[in-house]
Amino acid sequence: MPFSSVNFIVLLPVLLLVYWQLPRSMKRLWLLVASGIVYLAAGWEDLALLVAITSANWISTAAFPRSQLVPKLMVVANVAALGWFKYRYFIGGLFSFDATGSLVIPLGISFYVFQLISYQIETMKGVLQERPSFLAFFLYIFFFPHHQAGPIMRPHKFLGAFIKGREWSAARFRIGVLIFLWGLFKKVWIADWLASGVVNAAYGDLHASHGMSGNALFLGVTYGVQVYADFSGYSDIAVGLGRMFGFKLDRNFHQPYIAIGPSEFWRRWHVTLSQWLRDNVYFPLGGNRKGEARTLVNLMIVMLVGGLWHGAGWCFVLWGGLHGAYNVLERLGQRWLDRVAPLKFVVFQILFMLAWIPFREPDIRSVLNLLSRGSAWVGPDTVRALMWMAAIVSFSWVEDRLERFFPRLFRRFGWLPGPAFAVAYALLLLTILTGVRRETVFIYQRF
């Protein structure tokens, strides 16, 4: 059930009202019911798979609490499950096996499998101080604000909240509503508007001409703005919903389009995935501790894994490889690039935008045809693309300043009575919902 849909907007007050009226002992059970209601909209098959995988992970560690082998085996089992449901046709094609069929990826599997792997790793390392009950563990995976498209929450930071339960806080709830509305605004008024009015038409023309027309920069920039507004909007909605139910989720975005270079971009874009890849792929490979050449190889491997995490296809491999190359280039030219920071910013922002073309396209041949033509880089759409780039950079700068100013603003108006806030929030919500054209899912739900 998309969080930007009218159905969810109507359902949410009911879920919240019942949740906060129940005694503390019953809150977690109701939250489980609420998560089931939201998740069931994707279909009972997805729900059954989630229950089965989550149960297997909890039972394995509960039955063998002191084992070092069982968590390792469960990591392998989780990776195998993800591989089967997401990559079996892609891997089969690599080895000339039958790679045909209709692959429907279960909702949120990339996100909750990574959380389960984190749980097994932290169990193996002894990071977790307290073993969770099945209910607490299931909610850690199943909590509906973040199970569809993240953020990827670490057990040692998040699991304890479901063990202890949450208490009401009016200030936390009000902040959650504001964050929720801001994310909804980005989804409805930027991402969906841009998709329906600009991006789909531009890529439709590209497909109609079999990749032989279209301005590369315009295609990349407009989709880059759309995917940022869509995914960061979802993440803000998830964080806001979490606060409304009493939980603090990690932020997933810190205005990546004001990043100076690739390394900073990935500290700002999909932050929880970047941190997961750093801790569970980059560091185990040796990080930057085994010489410069090995560091460059590790950077490329991490980005390729990040690309494949997003999807089973060569376009995602290319997308990850491009970002790997950007990181390698930045590291090799660090001393010179630091002297020309404005030029570095402009060049790498253009490169980030161009990388979005293979991210969106399923056919790598049309991508390569487009990028290899000289006419793809000049023309009136180039000017439009640069205007869009200036717009998203300006928007990101304003968003960054608003986030810095927000705590002071909230303290100034936090004394207003509840009814005044309720009326203000209702008016903001109605204003945002006037922009809804049709029910659309979030882009990252398909990962």
**Secondary structure, 3-state, the chain:** CCCCCHHHHHHHHHHHHHHHHCCHHHHHHHHHHHHHHHHHCCCHHHHHHHHHHHHHHHHHHHHCCCCCHHHHHHHHHHHHHHHHHHHHHHHHHHCCCCCCCCCCCCCCHHHHHHHHHHHHHHHHHCCCCCCCCHHHHHHHHHCHHHHCCCCCCCHHHHHHHHHHCCCCCHHHHHHHHHHHHHHHHHHHHHHHHHHHHHHHHHHHHHHHCCCCCCCHHHHHHHHHHHHHHHHHHHHHHHHHHHHHCCCCCCCCCCCHHHCCCHHHHHHHCCHHHHHHHHHHHHCCCCCCCCCHHHHHHHHHHHHHHHHHHHCCCHHHHHHHHHHHHHHHHHHHCHHHHHHCHHHHHHHHHHHHHHHHHHHHCCCHHHHHHHHHCHHHCCCHHHHHHHHHHHHHHHHHHHHHHHHHHHHHHHHHHCCCCHHHHHHHHHHHHHHHHCCCCCCCCCHHHHC
pLDDT in tens, the chain (447 residues): 778 787 888 888 889 999 999 988 788 899 988 888 888 876 788 888 989 999 999 999 888 888 889 999 999 999 999 999 888 888 877 765 544 455 678 888 899 999 999 999 999 888 887 788 888 899 899 898 887 787 999 888 888 888 777 788 888 888 888 899 899 899 988 998 898 888 888 877 766 665 555 688 898 999 999 999 999 999 999 999 999 999 999 999 999 999 999 999 999 999 999 999 999 999 999 988 888 999 999 999 999 999 999 988 899 999 999 999 999 999 998 888 888 989 999 999 999 999 999 998 877 887 887 777 655 666 778 888 999 999 999 999 999 988 877 766 666 556 566 676 677 777 777 777 776 666 667 777 766
User: Does residue 49 form part of some domain?
Assistant: yes
Residue 102 near residue 92, CB atoms below 8 Å: no
Look at residue 188 in the predicted model and tell me its pLDDT: 87
Residue at which a domain ends, from 122, 148, 165: 165
Look at residue 206 in the predicted model and tell me its pLDDT: 67
Number of domains, the chain: 2
Residue 150 near residue 273, CB atoms below 8 Å: yes
Task: Identify whether residues 240 and 282 lie together within a single domain.
Answer: yes
Task: Identify whether residues 230 and 135 lie together within a single domain.
Answer: no
CB atoms closer than 10 angstroms to residue 427? 10
Residue 71 near residue 136, CB atoms below 8 Å: no
Domain around 142:
6-165
User: Does residue 327 form part of some domain?
Assistant: yes
Look at residue 439 in the predicted model and tell me its pLDDT: 61
Residue 268 near residue 255, CB atoms below 8 Å: yes
Residue 187 near residue 442, CB atoms below 8 Å: yes
Task: Identify whether residues 334 and 438 lie together within a single domain.
Answer: yes
Task: Identify whether residues 255 and 226 lie together within a single domain.
Answer: yes
User: Does residue 1 form part of some domain?
Assistant: no
Active site residue 310: yes
Residue at which a domain ends, from 150, 165, 180: 165
Look at residue 416 in the predicted model and tell me its pLDDT: 61
User: Does residue 188 form part of some domain?
Assistant: yes
Task: Identify whether residues 247 and 110 lie together within a single domain.
Answer: no
Task: Identify whether residues 403 and 428 lie together within a single domain.
Answer: yes
User: Does residue 393 form part of some domain?
Assistant: yes
**Cα 268 to Cα 245: distance, rounded to the nearest angstrom:** 26
Catalytic residue among 146, 147, 310, 323: 310
Look at residue 273 in the predicted model and tell me its pLDDT: 94
Task: Identify whether residues 187 and 65 lie together within a single domain.
Answer: no
User: Does residue 90 form part of some domain?
Assistant: yes
Q: Which residue has the tokens 């570095």?
A: 344
Look at residue 272 in the predicted model and tell me its pLDDT: 94
Task: Identify whether residues 157 and 191 lie together within a single domain.
Answer: no
Look at residue 325 in the predicted model and tell me its pLDDT: 96
Task: Identify whether residues 210 and 329 lie together within a single domain.
Answer: yes
Look at residue 207 in the predicted model and tell me its pLDDT: 64
User: Does residue 203 form part of some domain?
Assistant: yes
Task: Identify whether residues 320 and 415 lie together within a single domain.
Answer: yes
Task: Identify whether residues 43 and 145 lie together within a single domain.
Answer: yes
Task: Identify whether residues 421 and 354 lie together within a single domain.
Answer: yes
Residue at which a domain ends, from 116, 133, 165: 165
pTM: 0.90
User: Does residue 300 form part of some domain?
Assistant: yes
